[in-house]
Structure 1
Amino acid sequence: MTLAVLSGVGVLAFAGFVYSGVYDVGADNAHTRPVLSLLQTMRERSIASRAEKLTLPPLHDPARIRQGAGNYNAMCTGCHLAPGVAETELSKGLYPTPPNLTREQVDPREAFWAIKHGIKASGMPAWGKSMKDDYIWNMVAFLQQLPSLDAAKYHEMVEKSGGHSHGGGESGAGHHHGGEPMEHDDADHADEAQEHSEHTEPASPSTVPEHGKPGHHH
């Protein structure tokens, strides 16, 4: 058979596999090793090739690090955890499992790119749609310090951060500022939205959102 015929057969076989529905896309069932390896390599190379072009700002500025702590606490702990938090409902349910950023030292350029642009089909949002670059760099600066923080130091830094603030576009929905578990009924979401609109200054978070305390029902 000619190369063209073989190629056509291969395309038809692949199309048949896709349309058969035989491949399980459920998040509670891991990819096969070949698929996982392909996706990991593609993701890593895609991010690295774009991130290497970025210019790093000063990341050791205490004010930058402190401001990044508040946004991390409000926006990231549900998936990427915090000192003293082993896992959450989100981190357990997502696949691929989000990296535990309290234990991993991340490349600052790659972290910035991933935070700004997100990652397809991973649950990682493109925060650049609501955050200005400087605020993203603040979070990256904080991430460089995060693995070295214990729970007490983390909470102290969050308390001094100024809370969830990144230059406009902040939303009360999905973010938490007070350290108590979020309720999941419509009345509470309405109250949260009203409270958020009545304050011109972001509320200061006091602790990491925890899951499983009384009041958190399914």
Structure 2
Amino acid sequence: MKAFLILTVLLIGGFSLFIYSGIYNVAASEPHLDAVEWIMETTRDRSVRRHADKAPGPPEREEANFREGFRHYDEMCVICHSAPGIEQSEISKGQNPEPPDLGEEVLKWSREELFWIVKNGLKMTGMPAFGLSHSDREIGDIVGFITRLPDISPQEYAGLREEMGRENSVGHSH
């Protein structure tokens, strides 16, 4: 028992020394250590799955309003997450962790988990909590749109922008 107590005090002391020393580089221009990245990703994934299971999911609707979801995505999300045929923005290139390509990322999460992420945001990632400014219905529309991103071609995305009068509102087309 005494050895456990000594080990605990040494670990806490070492961890405190590490934190207060400022030795860990927090610059967004430098990648995290592999261990730190693993801790952050594992914590994020487990937390989202746990909390999304307990939270109310997207509102029951026959189908999300695809065009409204597109409008919200194009106004708020494309700046960080890009879109088919849209070059990664300068803001996105400077973030650490780098915002994921949602055309790939949506395949890893359930609709309920995506709803929870969009509504609540993710600490230390730059992902805001849109539940503070958007209704569940609007968030459901965004989720409905992003779940279809893997199947949207650059030409289709450009067509949606043109249709909505948003030809080159954010980012650059290829």
TM-score, scaled relative to structure 1: 0.70
Q: Does 1:128 align with 2:131?
A: yes
Q: Does 1:21 align with 2:8?
A: no
Tell me the percent identity.
35
Structure 2: distance between partners of 1:58 and 1:143:
17
Amino acid at match of 1:127: F
Take 1:143 and 1:60, find their aligned partners in 2: how far apart are those partners?
16
CA contact (8 A) 2:106 2:147 kept: yes
Q: Is the 8 A contact 1:112 1:140 kept in 2?
A: yes
Residue from 115, 119, 136 that aligns with 1:116: 119
Q: What's the CA shift string for 1:16-61, capped at 9, x where partnerless? A: 1110000111111111111111111000000011112344445762
Aligned partner of 1:83 in structure 2 is 84
Structure 2's unaligned 5+ residue stretches are none
- Residue 87 of structure 1 deviates from its aligned partner by 1.3
Partner of 1:10: 11
Structure 2 counterpart of 1:144, from 131, 140, 147 = 147
Give every structure 1 segment of 4 or more consecutive aligned residues whose post-TM-superposition deviation is greater than 2 Å: 52-61, 102-107, 155-161, 204-208
1:90 is displaced (CA, Å) by 1.4
**Larger helix share, 1 or 2:** 2
Q: Could you tell me which residue of structure 2 aligns to residue 64 of structure 1?
A: 65
Q: Residues 48 and 110 of structure 1 are in contact (CA less than 8 Å); yes or no, is this contact kept in structure 2?
A: yes
Determine if contact 1:59/1:141 at 8 Å carries over to the other structure.
no
Alpha carbons 2:120, 2:129 under 8 Å: kept:
yes
Q: Report SS of the residue matched to 1:114.
A: helix
**Aligned equivalent of 1:155:** 158
What amino acid is aligned across from residue 205 of structure 1 in structure 2?
R
Q: Summarize deviations over 1:164-197 as a string: whole Å, max 9, x none.
A: xxxxxxxxxxxxxxxxxxxxxxxxxxxxxxxxxx
Provide closer, same or farther for how the CA distance between residues 101 and 208 of structure 1 changes in structure 2, counting only shifts above 3 A.
Answer: farther
Q: CA RMSD in A?
A: 2.2
Give 1:157 deviation, angstroms. Answer: 3.0
List alignment gaps of at least 5 residues for structure 1. Answer: 162-203, 212-218
Say whether the 8 Å CA contact 1:74–1:205 is kept in structure 2: no
How many residues in Structure 1 have an aligned counterpart in Structure 2?
A: 169
Q: Which residue of 2 aligns with 1:176?
A: none
Aligned with residue 206 of structure 1, among 158, 167, 171: 167
- Taking CA–CA contacts closer than 8 Å with sequence separation of 6 or more, which of the two structures ends up with the larger relative contact order? 2
| Aligned residue identity for 1:36 | E
In the other structure, the counterpart of 2:31 is 30
Residues 208 and 100 (structure 1), Cα distance of their counterparts in 2 relative to 1, 3 Å cut: farther
